[in-house]
Amino acid sequence: QQQVKQSPQSLIVQKGGISIINCAYENTAFDYFPWYQQFPGKGPALLIAIRPDVSEKKEGRFTISFNKSAKQFSLHIMDSQPGDSATYFCAARDNYGQNFVFGPGTRLSVLP
């Protein structure tokens, strides 16, 4: 029940295209859903996050869509750029423990 599922495992997109990564969870105690971006040799960096009382959040080219009833959320990267090539992790935090459960990651490659 603590697991966060993420798909696809890897994604190849042409420059200017839309990248879509999906996540699903079971634990209804999760209250905060961030996405992290990780480049090789670096720690994860917070990209964008959403709470379950909001269905969509947009920051620049990055949008999170959240479906509370389906317990699913997704990351959309518009106008994908080669510099977006990285591994993306969705995560969820339970409202009691304040610790995070991460998905297994999606390796995104944006071709020039």
Partner 1 sequence: DAGVTQSPTHLIKTRGQQVTLRCSPKSGHDTVSWYQQALGQGPQFIFQYYEEEERQRGNFPDRFSGHQFPNYSSELNVNALLLGDSALYLCASSPVLTSTDTQYFGPGTRLTVL
Which positions lie near partner 1, rule CB under 8 A? 4, 6, 32, 34, 36, 41-46, 49, 89, 91, 93, 97-105
Minimum separation from the CB atom of position 77 to partner 1 (A): 18
Nearer to partner 1, 34 or 63 (CB): 34
Nearer to partner 1, 17 or 104 (CB): 104
Question: What are the Cα distances from residue 90, in Å, to 15, 45, 55, 111, 112?
Answer: 22, 11, 16, 23, 25
Minimum separation from the CB atom of position 81 to partner 1 (A): 23
The widest CA-to-CA distance across the chain, in whole angstroms, is: 44
Cα-trace Rg, the chain: 13
Minimum separation from the CB atom of position 78 to partner 1 (A): 24
Nearer to partner 1, 55 or 95 (CB): 95
d(CA 95, CA 92): 10
End-to-end alpha-carbon separation of the chain, Å? 39
